[in-house]
Amino acid sequence: MFARFAAIALFATAATAQDAPPTAPSPPAPAPATVRVVMTTTAGPITLALEKDRAPVTTANFLRYVDARRFDGITFYRSMKLPWNAGLIQAGQRDPVKLFKPIAHEPTSQTGLTHTDGAISMARLAPGTATADFSIVVGDMTGLDAKPQDPGFAVFGRVVEGMDVVKTIWNSPRSPTRGEGVMKGEMLEPPVKVLTVRRVS
């Protein structure tokens, strides 16, 4: 008799398990939030998605310059080209009167971002000295990412529209004599002007 009840109970348990509705899959984690800005240059517009969740300090700094309109009128002044068809273009606010205080460094080892095609990254001297100079990467430049012995540079977003404009600037004429040290021969002649930088609503 006990065996009969045990068999019935086992059957009922199996039937209940089979009849139970499948568990709904967990919703995917929300994508990190970004802020879009459009950089209008004399070569055309470049739209950037800035990583306010993953690189909050660097993104807030960039947006501070955007909102204060301190990027209006700056220039892309440098084009670096490497033998494997990669490099970067560099721009920034050079007027010391228009600079805000330097920001803390957010390495790629902390943010999870990387210097791949279209990444925007802060230029700096020592870590913690970045202000208003930035680069846009052409091709893969992961050698600029953080390493155990090198804090690297801080990526904080990427180009989502206008890489053709970035490459036009990258391929613009350069002076063979201007520039100092490793930047000699990398100065654009003439520089490419940034007319405005605005948030996209």
Domains and CATH numbers, the chain: 34-199 (2.40.100.10)
Cα–Cα nearest to 194, from 56, 83, 70: 70
Residue 72 is given by DSSP the state T
Spell out a b/e string for 137-148, using b for 16 or more CB atoms within 10 Å of the CB, else e. bbbebeebbbee
pLDDT tens-digit readout, 39-91:
999 999 999 999 999 999 999 999 999 999 999 999 999 999 999 999 999 99
pLDDT tens-digit readout, 119-160:
999 999 999 999 999 999 999 999 999 999 999 999 999 999
Q: Find tokens 């925007």 and name the residue.
A: 120
Prior bond of 190 cis (ω within 30°): yes
pLDDT of residue 201: 78
H-helix segments, the chain: 2-19, 56-67, 108-111, 163-170
pLDDT of residue 115: 99
